[in-house]
A and B are shown apart, each in its own frame.
Chain A
Amino acid sequence: MVAARITVNGKETPISPAPPHTTALDFLRERGLTGTKEGCAEGECGACAVLVARPGVHKPTDWVAVNACLVPVAALDGQELVTAEGLAAPGEPGRPPTLHPVQEEMALRGGSQCGYCTPGFICSMAAEYYRPDRSAPPGPADDADSDAEHGPNGFDLHALSGNLCRCTGYRPIRDAAFAVGTPTAEDRLAQRREQSPPAPVVTEYTQDDRAFLRKSTLAETLQLLRERPDAMVVAGSTDWGVEVNIRSRRADCVVAVDRLPELRELRVESDHIGIGAALTLTEIERRLDGGVPLLAELFPQFASRLVRNGATLGGNLGTGSPIGDSPPVLLALEASVVLADADGEREVPLADYFTGYRQSVRRPGELIRTVRIPLPLSPVTAFHKIAKRRFDDISSVAVAFALDIEDGIVRKARIGLGGVAATPIRALAAEAALETEPWTAETVEAAARVLQAEGTPMDDHRASAGYRSAMLGQSLLRLYARTTGAVSS
């Protein structure tokens, strides 16, 4: 066993003596790398964004931006990390550094005012700068919104959806993003993409009585979970990091599963698609490449790029939150989860998975291994997320539709709802009101009234119960308007 260590800006550093709950953010700051800032400590503002080298989708290695406030530093054992300080090439003694192209654009175009959020923006922007398929054409030409979110250089503004700036109003930051060119052949981070990513390592990092553990295989991990049923299982830590920082939770034992090869498979079979529970949402998004349209509609609305770079479907289902954004979609897709423990595996339909508020049929010692989406897919789908803010917000209500409409008749309707009950639910009554009926304004209006009565929405700071209910019905009317092109209100 090698002592836990991490490579920061090309320099290898031991993690010890940081306590196991220490975030990468606090670790960096204690090492004097204070460019990485804490703005919110819950993955919302991106002031702490850093780059990590991860297995790539189009190249051996991708530079991926993540929120350093959420990731325990021990989870980065053996990994490579670059901060805003590491992007500039140091100048001669007494001379200013040579700025990285994204730094130069941001500095020259007024992209910083108070400067506090800037290093995080720089890292998010650099990750997009190094995205190998960035020159890909922007979204469909007929989609004006999608065009507005892509620069002429292929820069996808969603790369910055997890970074908040309170000073600039964003226009100069967008200008900087849309002005960056392509990495040169000498660019060392561009070159790094061509090499293998840092391999996952076995980690046994303990301080006092607390441990952060990572095994190399699923079998070993399941054995460990049998011995330590109290262990907190993490992948991207995008939920657990919030618990640690905001609610001051500390776990005696944290077990990382994000690099287990068995949990990172993506397979398209004849009758289903199997998505490894520990693939990040970004990886799924890029590898499916629109193959599941409902998921493709979900991803840009799911938190932010910084979060999607860490978050997994396993995690989103594992926490069992009623306002997670993936469950309504997966319910509409009639997905199931494959649960594994040391004794074997079982498959549970997602509709039977949730049992109560943040509770599920998953037993202690059991892991979500795979999410299975049956094929063929229903052709008419939509995901409506109702939130105050379009980027990086939590749903007040989320509604996912998957419909089979043949010859004007609704043959099958699956509707998943989030935010209207203690668990994500299927809108069974509304499904029944649609099925076997003609896809007409009359049917839809009647079904919308049924849908509006589903669940038991609450009043809270995100929305009133009345608005939540109204949005259920409205989302079906909106889907109908979209499918028919014209429906009068």
Chain B
Amino acid sequence: MSRLSERPEKPVVGLPVPHESAVLHVTGAALYTDDLIHRTKDVLHAYPVQVMKAHGRITALRTGPALAVPGVVRVLTGADVPGVNDAGMKHDEPLFPDEVMFHGHAVAWVLAETLEAARLGAAAVEVDVDEQPSLITLQEAIAAGSLHGARPVMLTGDVDAGFADSAHVFTGELQFSDQEHFYLETHAALAYVDEAEQVFVQSSTQHPSETQEIVAHVLGLHSHEVTVQCLRMGGGFGGKEMQPHGFAAVAALGARLTGRPVRVRLNRTQDLTMSGKRHGFHAEWRIGFDADGRIQALDATLTADGGWSLDLSEPVVARALCHVDNTYWIPNARITGRIARTNKVSNTAFRGFGGPQGMLVIEDIMGRCAPLLGLDPMELRERNFYRQGQATPYGQPVLQPERISAVWRQVKENAGIADRRREIDAFNAAHPNTKRALAITGLKFGISFNLTAFNQGGALVLIYKDGSVLINHGGTEMGQGLHTKMLQVAATTLGIPLHKVRLAPTRTDKVPNTSATAASAGTDLNGAAVKNACEQLRERLQQVAATRLGSNAADVRIVEGVARGLGSDEELAWDDLVRTAYLQRVQLSAAGFYRTEGLHWDAKTFRGSPFKYFAHGAAAAEVEVDGFTGAYRIRRVDIVHDVGDSLSPMIDIGQVEGGFVQGAGWLTLEDLRWDVGDGPSRGRLLTQAASTYKIPSFSEMPAEFNVTLLKNAGEEGAVYGSKAVGEPPLMLAFSVREALRQAAAAVGPGGAGVKLASPATPEAVYWAIQAARRGGVSRIGSTPDGSAAEGHARNGHAADGRIRADAAASNGA
């Protein structure tokens, strides 16, 4: 067992403790960024001037009328920027643009004594725009050749030979939707200046170091003149990895220019219309199977809707390509990734970061092709699982392929698959208008940032004379329970009870140069850094204890706050030990650091081993579909998920359940619609409110929901044998989509691949049912009901009618 993964006697990690802020949450006492304004004097409120055109050059910007509004103090424009007018890392995101790139682009910000005055001021600013042609849909951008950024190609084996060896070749196309993060807390920042004009920014950010960096470059300051703090976030999900920087910079700029605290808080409409989302994708594919249904070759092009600027689109596409295999060995593959540039918000990180998009492509292929191959979808999937000795298409060996089948086997067992499939068949035979189906999907998700440099973490641990411990680390808390786990790690490493340890809010002046809390890596990186700092301190304290206990330092154990020498009954309480160390002038603080070892990645050749390990899981979902309407319910979900040896089981189960439901939301319910017509509101987000963009509510929760963590699953390469958990469970929701597909198919005669639009809303399921009734989808493009699909397509949305008639088998191609 590695030193990193080994657990000491009576560890605090592994205990199911509630979230460290649970009591503050339930009493309303927990503070979020915007709660601070009510404790701050003389705050100015900022309001964006949004231009409601999809594309155009600004020919005039008149702020005078705004300044005439009572209460307005100042209007911020590009002319006010002392440093670099850029809110991103690629110099393609001007903070104050002179070209409107999407409907709702903010071009100036009004500062006022009240939010109402700021709103009225923003409405009074006059902006003249020379409108330009715009590209709104992915199809428009692809047709126009509007691409930006890298165009990676992932190559393995000999694709042409693979197709030549295939008994069955299918082609197809899939377009699937974007997803709004819908963190309950919208973007917020509050900035102050101190007596030396240094800037302090409270920001709801997953990436305080980068927020600091952007604020500094916008203000023309050095990083040591800017401090960013994140108390906690009301949800992040990736939406606060890159997107908060500009809002923090606006607040900081306003504070610098006025000398007063400035608050930026987006209302829901602003947040929805100004901030980026999960990338929707278009995929074109050709796949070859041998006579037994084993994948021989895959040739695919994945195009992401990047929106107007690059933001994180390049790494998102890289991760999509790296996950197009999911749990399946693809010996020969040529996968091309592209980023379309559209006049929409700049799409960004979202839980899974391209991984779900890549995996959706292969899971959709499996679901559609299984009936064409005459195979049960479960069987088709199993036949293609990775085996020992096989590597991913980018060249990383899959070292634990047995985990893929272990979670799969266990979930089949937990879910009682065999019996329930019989029950479902009987139910379906007895119910002509209601159909049930059960589907299982698995997952393999790579853990670590693709970009190797990001795989580092830092911590600062302080022990005070009274024995109390304060930990700081570079990760941020967005509800995922990172801070709870860090407290458990510190208590475990130091050998003290949990209540002895407190955690300070994340601040850039405590731990510098941190990575985003993202890529599910928050615990791996920061946990190992906290552990490293605590080990340094523990070793120093063991020396002190050894002298007092007449033992050798190497033989001193600190367990539950008491130090003892091996084989001795003599005890030294933690508080006495710390006081003794202080009197002996032993340093009681330590900086911890961690870098993930063994990673390498060449973005140019698209090869390497970018991931420390893979997370695994499998889900079995049963749905019931109403044949009259396409409405459905999730009756039961069983999940077996591999989190290594869990650091905090209650937190991990919460992540698995929450990720699953969020994934089900993306795949079945959440439906971003944009105005793609040629009218005056072209490019407008039509679903820009909670009343029109629906995230899962209680009614979407599986009626029965069983989550099991895989046992005896210790991971050598991570802190205390745990595995990352933040993102992977989202992808377990493919099981719901596949179950819906099978339920729709159950209405028809069978044997045909059922196409299902994504998201599989009740309407999409209804059209799939109608197609299944007619005996398959290969005719859908030419059926009279094409009118309905057109209606859908007019909204610029993935719809069956838009997907070309495909999945036609060409045997022995």
A residues at B contact (CB < 8 Å): 19, 29-30, 32-42, 44-45, 47, 83-85, 87-88, 96-97, 99, 102-104, 106-119, 122, 148, 157, 160-161, 163-174, 242, 245-246, 248, 384, 386-394, 396, 459-467, 470-471, 474-475, 477-478, 481, 486-489
Contact = CB atoms under 8 A, between A and B. Distances in A.
B671 A388 contact: yes
B26 A107 contact: yes
A108 to B, nearest CB: 6
Contacts of A99: 23, 26-27
Nearest to B706: A171
Interface in B635-667: 650-651, 653-654, 657-662
A470 B788 contact: yes
Given A47-B184, A388-B669, A474-B628, A30 B38 contact: yes
A160 B697 CA distance: 9
Given A35-B28, A116-B184, A388-B694, 12 more contacts: A32-B38, A40-B268, A41-B267, A42-B691, A84-B28, A102-B26, A107-B18, A107-B22, A114-B479, A116-B32, A167-B235, A461-B671
Contacts of B76: none
Contact of B628 (A44, A110, A116, A478): A478
Contact of B691 (A44, A104, A465): A44
A171 B38 CA distance: 34
Nearest to B675: A461
B185 A88 contact: no
Contacts of B657: 168-169, 171-172
Given A386-B762, A389-B697, A107 B23 contact: yes
A461 B26 contact: no
B15 to A, nearest CB: 13
Nearest to A304: B697
28 contacts: A19-B116, A32-B39, A37-B184, A37-B234, A44-B689, A45-B184, A88-B27, A104-B26, A109-B18, A116-B32, A118-B28, A122-B28, A157-B698, A168-B657, A168-B661, A169-B658, A169-B701, A245-B267, A388-B671, A389-B697, A391-B699, A392-B697, A462-B692, A466-B788, A478-B628, A486-B432, A487-B432, A487-B433
B785 interface: yes
B700 interface: yes
Contact of B184 (A36, A114, A242): A114
A163 B696 CA distance: 10
A408 to B, nearest CB: 22
A465 B785 CA distance: 12
Q: Which of A390, A467, A481 has the most CB of B within 10 A?
A: A467
Contact of B28 (A34, A110, A391, A460): A34
A459 B22 CA distance: 44
Contacts of B703: 148
A389 B699 contact: yes
Contacts of A489: 432-433, 627, 747, 773
Q: Tell me if B's interface is mostly helix, strand, loop or mixed.
A: loop
A231 B254 CA distance: 39
A470 B653 CA distance: 41
A471 B788 CA distance: 12
A467 B766 contact: yes
B794 interface: yes
B35 interface: yes
Interface string B768-792: 0000010000000000010110011
A390 B699 contact: yes
A115 B699 contact: no
Contacts of B673: 461
A160 B698 contact: yes
B554 interface: no
Contact of B26 (A45, A119, A387, A460): A119
B29 interface: yes
Nearest to B31: A34
A246 B119 CA distance: 12
Nearest to A393: B694
Contacts of B284: none
A104 B687 CA distance: 36
A104 B18 CA distance: 11
Contacts of B161: none
Contacts of A471: 629
A149 B116 CA distance: 42
Contacts of A85: 27-29
B657 to A, nearest CB: 4
A465 B26 contact: no
A358 B234 CA distance: 37
A83 B28 CA distance: 8
Given A115-B232, A166-B184, A166-B662, A474 B18 contact: no
Contacts of A40: 268, 689-691
A11 B235 CA distance: 32
Contact of B27 (A38, A103, A460): A103
Interface in B102-125: 116, 119
A129 B689 CA distance: 30
A172 B671 CA distance: 26
B705 interface: yes
Given A110-B650, A169-B661, A475 B32 contact: no
A114 B233 CA distance: 7
Contact of B658 (A29, A113, A242, A465): A113
| 10 pairs of A and B residues whose beta carbons are closest in the complex | A35-B28, A114-B479, A116-B234, A466-B788, A115-B25, A464-B791, A169-B661, A44-B690, A113-B479, A84-B28
Interface in B687-720: 687, 689-692, 694-703, 705
Given A107-B26, A112-B26, A477 B628 contact: yes
A376 B761 CA distance: 39
Contacts of B795: 459-461, 464
B269 interface: yes
A173 B539 CA distance: 42
Contacts of A248: 119
B626 to A, nearest CB: 8
Given A174-B698, A388-B671, A113 B481 contact: yes
Contact of B629 (A104, A114, A478): A478
Interface string B421-437: 00000000000110000
Given A44-B690, A467-B763, A166 B237 contact: yes
B687 A103 contact: no
A37 B185 contact: yes
Contacts of A112: 19, 21-22, 25-26, 479
Contacts of B627: 489
Q: Which of B480, B659, B702, B766 has the most CB of A within 10 A?
A: B766
B734 interface: no
Nearest to B477: A114
A84 B26 contact: yes
B774 to A, nearest CB: 13
